[in-house]
Structure 1
């Protein structure tokens, strides 16, 4: 299955959008059904891991802390997702690798997959942030190619696509609110500090 779309953020410059979308905690908090996104090693155990709660994001978080935990090219991350699709609500243990990350052009590509007791998926996904044509805000282009099998796949794209669209729209609406909070509450130096740290 293929999914793609664009999302516009008014009054949010690309560099600010990139900083928030580079933070696994901000992404987790905006992605419905996601319990955590954390760096993983060979010893990682989904059943035993207990995520840290109440982690601060911008504008409240220390910029150096946000920079230290930002997604890194070549690094693997564990994500625990639970998303309802029709009558099915599987708990996906997901592994994601950041294949490419371009801080100059605000582009990122990731790949990975996950499985639950009766379903599995593999995917490649990408994101590109551009300045809006009006020069006021950002345009985010995103795409995902996913191979889904098992019980969820049996539901078909007519059931899956509306759920995926709602997750994406809710995600970007939440991200936009986080970015608005950063824009309104952070002092002017926070974005510049993070740009230098990333």
Structure 2
């Protein structure tokens, strides 16, 4: 099942500060809901373990993420995939674009395309879309706090 999501958020920090935070595994680990482990394997590769609950399904996903088309500090594309055992899999990517919003703020735009399969697919697109939006909102609220704190 394919899923798309896009949006934008204005963050209370400079473009350079937001770029640095988007590349800091400790900041990202603290902001990603359910993230138990996030390792920076090299400059463009990360590995992660994330636990999520989608309706009746709880799953621990182990995944790998690669940053491509880097354009510091304006953005990049993220591509990755994760395995959740019997729960299924997720794979996809996101384009992240940053721009100066003035007054020390940064506008972050994102476009996500993902595929999910296995038991997750049986939950239906409305539940997956709803949970995905909730997780994205939670991430950006956490990320906004992290970048405004310094």
TM-score by length of 1: 0.69
- How far the C-alpha of 1:112 sits from its partner, in A, is 1.3
Separation (CA, whole Å) in 1 of partners of 2:51 and 2:67 = 21
Residues 88-131 of structure 1, C-alpha deviations (whole Å, 9 max, x = no match): 01111111111222114x21112110111220111111211111
Residues 51-74 of structure 1, C-alpha deviations (whole Å, 9 max, x = no match): xxxxxxxxxxxxxxxxxxxx72xx
Report the secondary structure of 1:84's partner residue.
strand
Separation (CA, whole Å) in 2 of partners of 1:39 and 1:14 = 22
The answer to whether the aligner puts 1:146 opposite 2:114 as a matched pair is: yes
The answer to whether the aligner puts 1:94 opposite 2:87 as a matched pair is: no
Q: Pick one of 108, 117, 123 that aligns with 2:92.
A: 123
Separation (CA, whole Å) in 2 of partners of 1:98 and 1:162 = 26
- How far the C-alpha of 1:169 sits from its partner, in A, is 1.1
Q: Pick one of 111, 124, 128 that aligns with 2:79.
A: 111
Per the alignment, residue 25 of structure 1 pairs with 26
Per the alignment, residue 9 of structure 2 pairs with 7
- How far the C-alpha of 1:9 sits from its partner, in A, is 1.6
Structure 2: tracts of 5 or more residues without a match: none
- How far the C-alpha of 1:76 sits from its partner, in A, is 2.5
- Report the number of matched residues: 146
The answer to whether the aligner puts 1:80 opposite 2:52 as a matched pair is: no
Report the secondary structure of 2:57's partner residue.
coil
User: Based on CA coordinates, which of the two structures has the bigger radius of gyration?
Assistant: 1
Higher share of residues assigned strand = 2
Report the secondary structure of 1:7's partner residue.
strand
TM-score by length of 2: 0.90
> Cα RMSD between the aligned structures?
1.4
- How far the C-alpha of 1:3 sits from its partner, in A, is 1.1
Separation (CA, whole Å) in 2 of partners of 1:180 and 1:121 = 31
